């Protein structure tokens, strides 16, 4: 009986060892030893500098674009920087029945499209200290210009991109 149990344990360990060995040999080594998750987003140097700056910045609410995908990237900068996020996927999952949620989502989408009227007031009313304009938004230069014009009096722009035609950065409340 003891031999059967020992043989069973040995077979299970051997199967695990083969799988673990295959993983170590064939996996991507790009993020080896980096388990915090920021390395993927910091691949773009501008994004990485912005994330480090946000991490070292004083506490404050971070507003990020809402992405319509699964799993969503909404809230990654605030989460990695250990700052509260203006609207995150968790809110949409756990409190999806809030009556004000659809209106807030629509305003955030309109803000990032550059079409929200009284954009600066919207941000200050929700106590937003940081607005993220990431590498994913950097191609929409018209929306960026519109937002810049709408909130420039209340928020200063901190640029992290080296390409003027693709802005990446933060708006920080003055």
Over residues 101-128, the pLDDT tens digits come to 778 888 999 999 999 999 999 999 999 9
List, edge to edge, every strand of the sheet that includes 61-63. 61-63, 128-133, 169-173, 155-159
Q: Which of 167, 161, 163 is nearest to 142 (CA)?
A: 167
Same structural domain, 26 and 39: no
Task: List, in order, residues 6 or more apart from 160 with CB less than 8 Å away.
Answer: 46, 47, 49, 50, 53, 168, 169, 170
Q: What is the dihedral of CA 60, 66, 71, 77, to 10 degrees?
A: -30
What pLDDT does 170 receive? 96
Please give the share of the chain, as a percent, with pLDDT higher than 90.
41
Give residue 56's pLDDT: 94
Query: Is the pLDDT confidence value at 149 over 80?
Result: yes
80 and 25 within one domain = no
Ranked by mean pLDDT, the top range of 56-70, 88-102, 128-142 is 128-142
* Listed residue (131, 152, 133) closest to 143, CA to CA: 133
Residue 140: pLDDT over 70: yes
Q: How confident is the model over 121-149, as a mean pLDDT? A: 94
Same domain, 64 and 135: yes
Say whether both 150 and 96 belong to one domain.
yes
Contact of 111 with 86, CB cutoff 8 Å: no
Residue 112: predicted pLDDT: 95
What is the pLDDT at residue 82?
Answer: 87
**Same domain, yes or no, for 161 and 79?**
yes
pLDDT at 162 over 70: yes
Q: Are 83 and 16 within one domain?
A: no
Q: How many domains does the chain have?
A: 2
Q: Are residues 47 and 125 in the same domain?
A: yes
Q: Which range is most confident: 11-15, 69-73, 93-97, 163-167?
A: 163-167
Q: Are residues 60 and 21 in the same domain?
A: no
> What is the pLDDT at residue 57?
95
d(CA 132, CA 93): 22
The whole-chain average pLDDT of the chain stands at: 84
91 in the same domain as 53? yes
Domain that holds residue 40: 34-173
**Same domain? 10 vs 52:** no
The pLDDT score that the predictor gives to residue 154 is 96
Output the pLDDT for position 32: 66
Q: 76 and 20 share a domain?
A: no
More confident residue, 3 or 158: 158
146 and 64 co-located in one domain: yes
């Amino acid at each position: 009986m003891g031999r059967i149990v020992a043989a069973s344990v040995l077979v299970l360990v051997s199967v695990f060892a083969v799988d673990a060995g295959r993983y170590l040999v064939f996996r991507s080594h790009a993020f080896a030893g980096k388990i915090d998750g920021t390395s993927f987003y910091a691949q773009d140097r501008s994004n990485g500098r912005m994330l480090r700056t946000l991490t070292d910045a004083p506490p404050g609410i971070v507003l990020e674009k809402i992405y319509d995908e699964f799993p969503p990237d909404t809230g990654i900068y605030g989460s990695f920087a250990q700052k509260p996020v203006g609207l995150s996927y968790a809110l949409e999952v756990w409190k999806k029945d809030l009556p004000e949620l659809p209106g807030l989502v629509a305003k955030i989408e309109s803000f990032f499209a550059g079409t929200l009227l009284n954009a600066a007031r919207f941000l200050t009313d929700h106590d937003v200290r940081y607005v993220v304009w990431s590498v994913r938004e950097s191609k929409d230069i018209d929306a960026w210009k519109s937002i810049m014009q709408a909130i420039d009096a209340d928020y200063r722009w901190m640029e992290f991109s080296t390409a003027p035609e693709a802005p990446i950065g933060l708006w920080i409340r003055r």
